[in-house]
Amino acid sequence: MVDFSMVGGIPLRVIRPVFLLFALALPAFSQTDFDECQKLAASSDEPGIAAGAGVPLGKIDTVKAIPACTSAQVPGDPTYPVVSYRLARVYMANGPMQDIRSSLYMMRTASGAMYWADALGADVAEWYKAAGLAGITPATYEAAARSGDVVAQIALGWLYSSPNLSALSSDAYPEQGLEWMRKAASQGSPLAQYDLATLLAFQDRHDEAFPLYKAAAEQGSKRGLFMLGFSKLRGRGTQQDVEGGMTILSNLALQGDVWAQIALGKEFAAGRFVPKDDAVARHWYQRAADGGSQEAVNLLKDLSQVQAMTDDEAMLALAGAGIVLLVAGAALTYDPDATDADWDNSMADYYEQQESFEESQRQIMEDTCAWADEGNPFC
């Protein structure tokens, strides 16, 4: 097994000062986090993994593996492409955290492993580079997609629609991407319905996106419900319904949904649809930060002088804003038979979050290209 506390025979504590400028702004490598990610998400095919020690894709516990591997992922550290590859596997695995686009982004990041060839060893770096490239090459998925595999169809949908992802082309083929995504969505997959709606929303085709968000929500997709609420809150693809949207947002936030907590905080910070209240905003940012959101940590900095409030006070603030709260602990789902007045809208700035996400991914890509060998076809 590769000892990542020693790479290329050199202790990481010696290698790391070379990247001091990175390290000043980044978290430090943790062997404990790295080992936990390896235990939960490593493939048996990876260099240094003993036979039978890896985790098959179908047995990855995504709920545990995502926070573990996210904590282990340290840009600027030689283990970065290794952990990125494992995160790609986690996001590709079936489960409540499945996210094919994020998986492809992580594969792309892993493909820059040759930058760390001196630290990882040329053979190890070459393996992660090749694995990453394979993960974002359309041919990897085409046979399975033609056979009806939903995940493969979604992957092709993103690869053809997002030139930043594909290993073979800098051109986008949005209609070809939509065609594959529609094939997946037609099989009733809520993940595909949500992703297809997202592609359509990127093209400002909100009238087409809205029923897909609704269909995903009807099947229990929290992301679909989140965007169903957002669409109605903003009047995108449907009639605007602020009360319904804020109701969905608030109840998702109470269930611990980090996206909803951030959005709720932004609404109270901005005062667009509810009375402006920085204390309530701070409360929800704090809840999201406690749930692991770095964005929420950053947002809290602007409200550091605002007095914190209790959960009960935050609940009273929601009720005072006219938001209908469900019984504590009740599961929030979308009832297709409910009226628009019963349900509807949730959210605040999904697009702000989306832009933030895309910007963070662009930065990852820039870093990857800065680290990649000259032969990397992406860069």
Q: Tens-of-pLDDT digits for all 379 residues of the chain?
A: 333 333 333 333 333 333 333 334 446 778 889 999 999 999 999 999 987 789 999 999 998 998 899 889 888 889 999 999 999 999 999 888 899 999 999 999 999 999 999 999 999 999 999 999 999 999 999 999 999 999 999 999 999 988 777 666 556 678 889 999 999 999 999 999 999 999 999 889 999 999 999 999 999 888 898 898 889 888 999 999 988 888 888 888 888 888 889 988 998 888 888 888 889 899 999 999 888 788 888 898 888 778 777 777 777 777 777 776 654 333 444 444 444 443 333 333 333 444 454 454 445 444 444 444 444 333 3
Residue 1 class from Cβ within 10 Å (0-12 exposed, 13-18 middle, 19+ buried)? exposed
Of residues 133, 205, 238, the one with CA closest to residue 181: 205
User: What pLDDT shows up at residue 318?
Assistant: 75
Q: What angle do CA 62, 67, 69 make, to 5 degrees?
A: 85
What confidence score (pLDDT) does residue 373 get?
Answer: 41
Q: Whole-angstrom Cα distance, residue 343 to residue 214?
A: 11
| Distance, CA of 235 to CA of 344 (rounded, Å) | 10
Rounded to 5 degrees, φ, ψ at 8 are 60, 25
- Kind plus residue range of the DSSP H or E element containing 6: strand 6-7
Beta-carbon contacts of 324 under 8 Å, excluding residues fewer than 6 positions away, are 243, 247
CA dihedral 277, 282, 287, 291 (to 10 degrees): 130
- CA-nearest of 16, 18, 36, 37 to 28 is 16
Q: What is the C-alpha to C-alpha distance for residues 246 and 263, in angstroms, rounded to an integer?
A: 10
Tokens of 186: 């037609």
